[in-house]
Amino acid sequence: MAGWTLISESAPARGAWNMAVDEALFRRAEGDGAPGPFLRLYAWSPACLSLGHHQSFSEACDPGYCASRGFDVVRRPTGGKAVLHDDEVTYSVVGRMDRPPFAGLSLIDTYGLIAEALAEGLRRGGLEVSLSQRRGSLSPAGGAPCFLVPSEKEITASGRKVVGSAQRRGQRAFLQHGAVPLHLDYEALALASAQPLADAEGYRRAFAGVADLRPGLTHEGLGAALADGFRARFEGPWTERALDAEERELAERLRRERYETDEWNLGAALRSPEDSEQMTGGGLSCSS
């Protein structure tokens, strides 16, 4: 049975660093002789608007508003729509597609396994959640937030979506990461992602922060519950550690040369052969 590695984080980080670490772990798993699956749970400081890899910057971001609020802006290595990361716990899973527990699974089946672990974690955090297979009727605009995109595998509580995810699949490995917000600022989400302010009320009806539904739930409590949910769904062995020297060096390079650059963040086209792996689009890119 494949052994899992929980990557521990010491403090919330900027968007460029968070995306660089996720990609560094993905690249490590793509290489020969990579270790078993990774789970990483992390936070953001300052708040950050992340854009899907193929999104148009002008349709998905209001840079003036983001600057006025002190929000970072970063483009993800995954597909999907805009997400405003603020008061949340973010998860990322990196695994090999040729090794257990994800060996031979389709994109949808991979989502399903991870969604089961997330749902178990949220239940351990005190929420009553449902895992549904739903094709929604929403038709969001090009820059509309990730949480509004209909999905095959969706985690809901009190009838509202509580997790938004995106996935990238390479030749051997995949990266899936997603936001589990505790509280949501619906107006900030609309304005940061260049959507009409009037849409904020619709967002409020469509999705929710988990601490708004389960008062008293903290970042620490949510993170611990999610980790427990993964351990319950994916039996061990589990180890916990910080980034090793190789991973940190690669993440530092990716942060400096990619995720902090205007060339990456303002563009929306594939930039090099190493970026040509499959990235999910449409509803699948923002499932769970």
Number of alpha carbons in the 13 Å side-chain half-sphere of residue 57: 14
The rounded distance, in Å, linking the Cα atoms of 171 and 284 is: 19
Residues designated as active site = 146
Q: Which helix (H) or strand (E) holds 190?
A: helix 186-192
| Long-range CB pairs of 246-252, under 8 A, 24+ apart, other chains included | 246/28, 247/21, 247/24, 247/25, 247/28, 248/24, 250/24, 250/27, 250/28, 251/17, 251/20, 251/21, 251/23, 251/24, 252/20
User: What value does the CA radius of gyration of the chain take, rounded to a whole number of Å?
Assistant: 17
Kindly report the number of other CB atoms within 10 A of residue 266's CB atom: 15
Residue 57 carries which DSSP code?
H
Q: 274 with 137: CB under 8 angstroms?
A: no
Look up residue 158 and give its two tokens. 């009190």
Q: 136 with 270: CB under 8 angstroms?
A: no
Token pair 């999104």 is found at 55
Token pair 């509803």 is found at 283
List, in order, residues 6 or more apart from 220 with CB less than 8 Å away: none
